[in-house]
Structure 1
Amino acid sequence: MKEKERQIKEGKGLVVEKNVERTDAKRKVKGKAIFGYDYGTLAKNKFDDLLYTGFLKSEYAHAKIKDIDTSAAEAVEGVVKVFTHENVPDVKFTTAGQGYPEPSPYDTRILNEKVRFHGEPVAIVAAESEEAVKEALEKIKVDYEELPVLLNPEESLGSDVKIHEDGNLADEIDVEVGNTKKAIENSDVIVEGEYETQPQKHGHLEPNACVSRIDDHGKLVIETTNQVVYHVRRILSNIFDMSQKDIRIKSWEIGGGFGDKQEMGMEHYAALVTKETGRPALVQFDREEQFLFSRRRHGAKLRVRIGSDADGNLNGIHIHAISDTGGYGSHGVTVTSNMGTMTLPLYTNTCENLKFTAKVAYTNKPTAGAYRGYGTIQGGFALECAMDELAEELDMDPIELRKKNAIEEGMFDPLSKVISEAGKIIPRDMKSCAFTETLERGKEIFDWKGKRERDRDLGDSKKRGVGVASAMKGSGVPGFELASCTIKLNENGTVLVTTGASDMGQGLESVVSQVVAETIGVRLEDVDIVSADTEKTTFSMGTYASSGTYMEGNAAKKAAEDLRAKMLKRAAEMMDREPQDLDAGNGKIFLKENPEESITVKEVGMDTIYGEKKTQLEGFGDAEDFISPPPFTTHFVEVEVDEETGEVEITRFLTMTDVGVPINPVAVEGQVEGEVAQGIGYALTEEMEFEENGRMKNPSFKTYKMPTSLDVPEIETELVRSYEPTGPYGAKSVGEIGIVPPAPAIANAIYDAIGKRFRKLPITPDKITAKLKDK
């Protein structure tokens, strides 16, 4: 192992594994950061010929457009163009921001002749004022042929009514290792349960926004708020039959994404208006449009069967899922795949029989897509609740059951030998795994045994209980991802980093800066980053699938090593030494045997630019994902349940998480705590609700019940150390793992408190009181 990596493993890094101030903190706190929605405001002053846009929304959840009359709208003063399905490119595509070839179906056009969810855009007005847009939208007349509405995915799969031409089955999955049915049937103990999870909406503060224009070179430029700028460029080039060199996608700061912006959410609308009119166009969603037009989490119904011997050794697990992808299939098969492939491997210490089957159903709901947790959260809820039910049948402590079956370092993920995301086979081994430690240390810190043995009755109709749940995820998408990075040494000793990935608030910019500073040996404040601009940065698949730290960090580390070697070579010439005798740190290059003999990085930069042998020192690095090393986590929860009101109060929440080496520990803790907050909402309050006709009942922050800071308890966050040899300085990614266990841990704690199991989310007070009344 290299000396530097040995130091990092032992916690002796200069910048890495330190609680440094995030590099984006000051500009955001001071209000100097420009977000995509902010740029829309700036564009109103920047472009004299800016066009405003608005959408006419479908009155129905399922209908054919028989006729659409835009003549009165086009006559409104200031209206430049009205778009319908009749005058947009006749090209089908997927909006999913994924690698190529996309696994998601090509099942949508910019505007569709048939609407498949209530509120779907049926017309776009481009006008010279917002007032003209609003007036024109009111004058468009649409004649619909109303069709039956299918909201239940199981009913949709059995219906003769076709949402899409080929039917209502978007995709299906059937994968197995071993002989699961036989293994379960021959088990001493078998548990089987059905579980249901709800559609959940991302709650990022910044709605989608973008501005499109034609620059002085005739290039289509879209400045937006997006996690996957290179994917958006590729999709647009196909829709409009344009060369990718004639399209530039730039992302401003992102005010939260959580997967919602891993999508071409509005850029195609803006591109359409600008291409057809030649004028800059502003497209912004209001909050209701954000609920309807952007993406949401897939609802799912899952059936779990587990068989074990009398000692709790698992023999076989079968998960069957039916997921609800809504009107279009964006991310449908890959999210659903993760419901099994990212959950089943967790308990395979002795279990060699695993089966995952699934169907992805179209329904007449707004389209589902990527959302933090990406399928693992649905499958994890079902599996972790079923594990507790098995522990009860075995009369075994739930933690001991998990420990007995926990996957360990050096083992292989069995399912990865036959399938991974989108069917690509990339066997992955556990080069780092502290899963068992999360269980053992958490049990002690939480006082699990003591809490389990105490009286559950608190009096005054209140009962208390404790629950536990675990999860594994991944770091990127194995076999699909590429990240690249360049680093340039400036003459003043600072460095400029370019990366194609977006920072959506999770701290990626800061992580990359720490990796670069540590590797090159400069101060953190001497690192500058340009990101997510297809004209100025190197290629990246984007920011999703918990890939940021692992993928962008690896690419940045390689680029930094490349530049460092060139810097040491140049410094050796300046110092009349050999490169291997030199080291770098804190802005200096020095002799290993005598650190006092040194020159500054600035001196090297000046010499390369202005010295005798002029050159620009640059480093390049790229990284692929071959094993997607999983982070592991276990959450411990204590609740108090009021049996009269059904209210659930979380009185303690402890997380134990293995992310390898945390590049910035306090930032990792912040990520986990944010994930827990979203997971609590998933467990107890959040649900997109629909009327029978498909209209969403609660498309606003007033009616959609996200937990606030007053609803989230203090979260104790412990990081369990491991070392991932394939990650930058031993790191794995943490962007999603913490959102998976809260729902099952809370459900298990509620059962421990009141003796009632809840297999359908969210677990609301009315459901609790109703079940308590049902004797």
Structure 2
Amino acid sequence: MILDEKEMKVKEGVGQVLGKNVERTDAKRKVEGKTVFGFDYGTIAKKRFENLIHTKIVRSEHAHAEIENIDTSKAEKMQGVVKVFTHEDVPDVKFTTAGQAYPEPSPYDTRVLNEKVRFYGEPIAIVAAESEEIAEKASEKIEVEYKELPVLLDMEEALDSEVEIHEGGNLQDEIDVEVGNTEKAIENSDVVVDREYETPIQKHCHMEPHACVSRIDENGKLFIESTNQVVYHVRRILSKIFDLPLKDIRVKSWEIGGGFGDKQELGIEHYASLVTLETGRPALVYFDREEQFFFSRRRHGAKLRVRIGADEDGTLNGIHIDALSDTGGYGTHGVTVSSNMGTMTLPVYTKHCENLKFTAKVIYTNKPPGGAFRGYGTVQGGFALESAMDELSEELEIDPVELRLKNAIEENMLDPISKVISEGGKIIPREIKSCGLTETLERGRKLFEWEKKKKQTRKENDSKKYGVGVASAMKGSGVAGFELASSKIKLNEDGSVLVTTGASDMGQGLESVLCQIVAETVGIELEDVDIISADTDEPTFSMGTYASSGTYMEGNAVNKAAKELKEKILRRAADMMDESPQVLETGDGKVFMKENPDESLKIREVAMDTIYGEKKTQLEGFGDAEDIISPPPFSTHFVEVEVDEETGKVEITKYLTLSDIGIPLNPTAAEGQIEGAVAQGIGLALHENLEFDEKGCIKNPFFKDYHIPTSVEVPEIETELIKTYEPTGPYGAKSVGEIGTVPPAPAIANAIYDATGKRFRKLPIKPDEIIEKLESP
């Protein structure tokens, strides 16, 4: 691939603003408290709209039941109550809330409000009133008669039960794919590892809860102002539900105070739209923290069986992953998350092995629905595979790092499983065009002093046990065959530019990196780039911010648009300078002669000439991008733990990550993404798990009971970026947002085993469970 001059500079680390630790464009306004988040806009709306309707969502008191009667008369007689909505007042349209490309792979299995409830706390009514207080009091007067049904909380029990959560049974979907002859390859191996693992239901715990304001705007459009990662998908789903043309719906996202996939969903917008369309008035719907736990999505719980066959020298012959995935009461994201348990994990160790099998069952239970969550299935599959690899290394008496190095996929290889399955369903064989996996293992082994730490022993009379662990992972950059992003850039008369993109920044720094790409490509200062994002009435489309697609997809789109704008600037400048565009270049806000940089024009001068000169025109650039390969980033984590055998407490004493994300366009921002992902991975490994009573009610829907890692429990994380060049990415970049969530849990579990000699195959690994195992024979 031939690189242009600017791409080569970024690759070599001498770009103008790319590859450098520049200050994020959103940093100042957020630190100064000037940012308007979607939840903040709810507060603003209370002052802005005198006729604002306040709402209260009424929750089911059963996990599985049919509503035989719902009496809203007492509530509706209260002064200040505008209307109470039940299943009888909503469109008879089934849909999926999953914010995915069309046609959605998730089933159409829900309505705005359902007559049959399938999880404890499911919304059964919406009270619309003149104040929050009235809405709250009115909700308490609603009387509901239920026909209770058996509650199925266990996946295997639900699979075998004759009680149907949905018509047609409790098996929502299943997967059965294979390349090669896996069974034969495993049977003919010298050593076979056959183990079962389990991952919990984890909550996103972003700081900003869901919030939404809907209204009819001055043009008669249904206008939704929300906090959402997928505004165009939300518009499409609302159009289906309410039978409205797309042109009559506008969805805009204010800035997002964290999403992690929880806002890749129609989570709240349909409730607000229902109220507004019925009353003609603005409506506010938002969740408090308890409601956030009950109403929004969570990571799918899973049980996985891994079978690996290998020769005595460590060469892998066959791998079979079999998964049971708990999609909860509805199937949103169920099959695609489950698909990733295999598609994003099986290829990691296929240097020699092309016998791969993946089977999965996606199962309805009477738990709250699963959804998109950072790592999207790879976390579950990665925990199982990386734990099994360590167990295999022990059987073979081969060092865990050596076993991984021997089998790690490499550049220019073909991902074998991509020949039969992908996340989205389209079969697109994937060539690995950039891969630094072996470098992450080799460099990490040296930096971590792996061999030395593996040999360390516990001191006499010391209750602390020490151990080290390692785990690797791969992910993707968007969803191959489904993603589309577009961008439009216009040159203002002062030489600054305005960028439009359809994607949301949910705190990960997307806005900043897009502005960096534009500044680098056009040749202007970073402060001369402004951006508008996530508004369906703007002229550019985007599938949204999910699947680690932000930098890769939106970056490619804005880069293409910026290149077109740059070409137009060069042509205009060439006319002004009486030169050929081919001898000109841009940089530092100027157009200059390549052979004589002192001979130049300011881009501002060119811009003024286009607007006010003799041949007036608006200089613009347009770019779109499609994902055809989803290039994977790679990562390896090394961890050292200290286990107190008296208390069972696990302390992480050293943590090292090495990641191949292509060319890091803003290294500090990339490192921050990785370190934040590690914190979530530590939560999954040691702390987090939604707990349910026998009725299916969440027992710990508050942060005082649902323990996420604090600053005390997250260690200092050493992060190193291994540079590769991804030819399909903007300036050689791949994704970074999700890859860091995958290795922490297996690396920590492997380290705990190294310390204690006890293997933990179920997460989270809590102190009382450690004590129990240490005391057992």
Do they superpose with TM above 0.5?
Answer: yes
Match of 1:431 among 425, 430, 433: 433
2:170 match: 168
Match of 2:239 among 231, 237, 240: 237
Match of 1:303 among 292, 302, 305: 305
Q: CA deviation at 1:537?
A: 4.1
SS for the counterpart of 2:93 is coil
1:147-185 Cα distance to aligned partner (Å, 9 max, x none): 111111111011011000111011000010000000000
Q: CA deviation at 1:710?
A: 1.3
1:410 match: 412
Amino acid of the residue matched to residue 638 of structure 2? Answer: F
Q: Which moved more, 1:3-12 or 1:491-500?
A: 3-12
Q: Residues 247-286 of structure 1 correspond to what in structure 2 (within 5 A)?
A: 247-286=249-288
1:146 aligns with 2:144: no
SS for the counterpart of 1:213 is strand
SS for the counterpart of 1:291 is helix
SS for the counterpart of 2:264 is coil
Q: CA deviation at 1:8?
A: 1.6
- Given that 1:456 and 1:465 are in contact with CA atoms closer than 8 Å, whether structure 2 keeps it comes out as no
1:333 match: 335
CA distance in 2: counterparts of 1:49 and 1:533, whole angstroms: 24
SS for the counterpart of 2:327 is strand
1:220 aligns with 2:222: yes
- Given that 1:457 and 1:464 are in contact with CA atoms closer than 8 Å, whether structure 2 keeps it comes out as no
1:645 aligns with 2:647: yes
1:39 match: 41
1:299-330 Cα distance to aligned partner (Å, 9 max, x none): 00000000001100000000000000000000
1:480 aligns with 2:482: yes
1:450 match: 452
Which sections of structure 1, spanning at least 5 residues, go unmatched? none
SS for the counterpart of 1:692 is coil
1:685 match: 687
- Given that 1:530 and 1:537 are in contact with CA atoms closer than 8 Å, whether structure 2 keeps it comes out as no
1:662-686 Cα distance to aligned partner (Å, 9 max, x none): 0000000000000000000000000
- Given that 2:6 and 2:520 are in contact with CA atoms closer than 8 Å, whether structure 1 keeps it comes out as no
SS for the counterpart of 1:139 is coil
2:70 match: 68
1:491 match: 493
CA distance in 2: counterparts of 1:196 and 1:176, whole angstroms: 23
Q: CA deviation at 1:460?
A: 3.0
Cα pair distance change 1:440/1:743, threshold 3 Å: same
SS for the counterpart of 1:667 is helix
- Given that 2:641 and 2:751 are in contact with CA atoms closer than 8 Å, whether structure 1 keeps it comes out as yes
Cα pair distance change 1:564/1:201, threshold 3 Å: same
Q: Which moved more, 1:375-384 or 1:456-465?
A: 456-465
Amino acid of the residue matched to residue 423 of structure 1? Answer: G
Q: Which moved more, 1:739-748 or 1:415-424?
A: 415-424
Q: Residues 349-388 of structure 1 correspond to what in structure 2 (within 5 A)?
A: 349-388=351-390
CA distance in 1: counterparts of 2:460 and 2:420, whole angstroms: 50
- Given that 1:174 and 1:358 are in contact with CA atoms closer than 8 Å, whether structure 2 keeps it comes out as yes
CA distance in 2: counterparts of 1:630 and 1:119, whole angstroms: 38
Q: CA deviation at 1:216?
A: 1.1
- Given that 1:210 and 1:284 are in contact with CA atoms closer than 8 Å, whether structure 2 keeps it comes out as yes
Match of 1:127 among 126, 129, 141: 129
Match of 1:711 among 710, 713, 717: 713
1:465 match: 467
1:378-432 Cα distance to aligned partner (Å, 9 max, x none): 0000000000000000000000000000000000100111110132101111100
- Given that 2:304 and 2:324 are in contact with CA atoms closer than 8 Å, whether structure 1 keeps it comes out as yes
CA distance in 2: counterparts of 1:441 and 1:154, whole angstroms: 43
CA distance in 2: counterparts of 1:518 and 1:89, whole angstroms: 49
CA distance in 2: counterparts of 1:271 and 1:604, whole angstroms: 46
CA distance in 1: counterparts of 2:234 and 2:409, whole angstroms: 38
SS for the counterpart of 1:334 is helix
SS for the counterpart of 1:242 is coil
- Given that 2:424 and 2:480 are in contact with CA atoms closer than 8 Å, whether structure 1 keeps it comes out as no
Amino acid of the residue matched to residue 305 of structure 2? Answer: R
1:521 match: 523
CA distance in 2: counterparts of 1:417 and 1:5, whole angstroms: 32
TM-score (norm 1): 1.00
Match of 1:572 among 567, 571, 574: 574
- Given that 1:458 and 1:464 are in contact with CA atoms closer than 8 Å, whether structure 2 keeps it comes out as no
Deviation beyond 6 Å, 4+ runs, structure 1: none
Aligned length: 775
1:207 match: 209
1:429-471 Cα distance to aligned partner (Å, 9 max, x none): 1100000000000000000000011213474311000000000
Amino acid of the residue matched to residue 394 of structure 2? Answer: E
1:703-755 Cα distance to aligned partner (Å, 9 max, x none): 10000111100000000110001100000010100000000000000000000
2:618 match: 616
Q: CA deviation at 1:774?
A: 1.3
1:584 aligns with 2:589: no
CA distance in 1: counterparts of 2:533 and 2:552, whole angstroms: 16
SS for the counterpart of 1:423 is coil
Which sections of structure 2, spanning at least 5 residues, go unmatched? none
Q: CA deviation at 1:12?
A: 1.3
CA RMSD for the aligned pairs? 0.6
CA distance in 2: counterparts of 1:446 and 1:768, whole angstroms: 26
- Given that 1:79 and 1:128 are in contact with CA atoms closer than 8 Å, whether structure 2 keeps it comes out as yes
CA distance in 2: counterparts of 1:458 and 1:736, whole angstroms: 41
State the identity %.
74
1:20 match: 22
- Given that 1:531 and 1:537 are in contact with CA atoms closer than 8 Å, whether structure 2 keeps it comes out as no
- Given that 1:676 and 1:739 are in contact with CA atoms closer than 8 Å, whether structure 2 keeps it comes out as yes
SS for the counterpart of 2:415 is coil
